[in-house]
Amino acid sequence: MEDNDLSEFLAWMTKLPDSRKQEIQQAAARDRNKIYLKALEPLELGEAKEHQREFHNYLILNRFFMTDELWEKFSNIDKQLNNALNAFEIGKQAKDQRLIAESVQSVTSVETTFVEVTRAVHERFHYKEA
């Protein structure tokens, strides 16, 4: 990427601290992408953990409206996401590629559970598609 394009791109990246933007600009062209990705990792993990906390709080606030079956299914997703994010963070800190891969697989497998929850919600609200 040309220096002018890089400057414009980094100006658009408001979540990166100025010190990291400077580091990327001053790096050799071949190293810029690696430094950029490394700078984004903790920010994206923080965002993922915040979204998981919001989901957790939503479940708590709306527990009253759920059947025991729905509560159990949603709680399982919540636990699975929380465990996967924690495992990913620990794996990154420990440089444990196996733990990182397992945590990514765990998040990916939530989709299957989500389909089951969707079906249960449809049944609960008597949707014809269920």
pLDDT digits (tens, 9 = 90+) for 62-83: 999 999 999 999 999 999 999 9
Grade residue 130 by pLDDT with cuts at 50, 70 and 90.
very low
What distance in Å separates the CA atoms of residue 118 and residue 110, rounded to the nearest whole number? Answer: 12
* Tens digit of each residue's pLDDT (9 = 90 or more) over 95-123: 999 999 999 999 999 988 888 888 888 88
Domain locations along the chain: 66-130
The dihedral over CA atoms of 40, 45, 47, 49, expressed in degrees to the nearest 10, equals -170
H/E element, 55: helix 29-62
What distance in Å separates the CA atoms of residue 2 and residue 27, rounded to the nearest whole number? Answer: 13
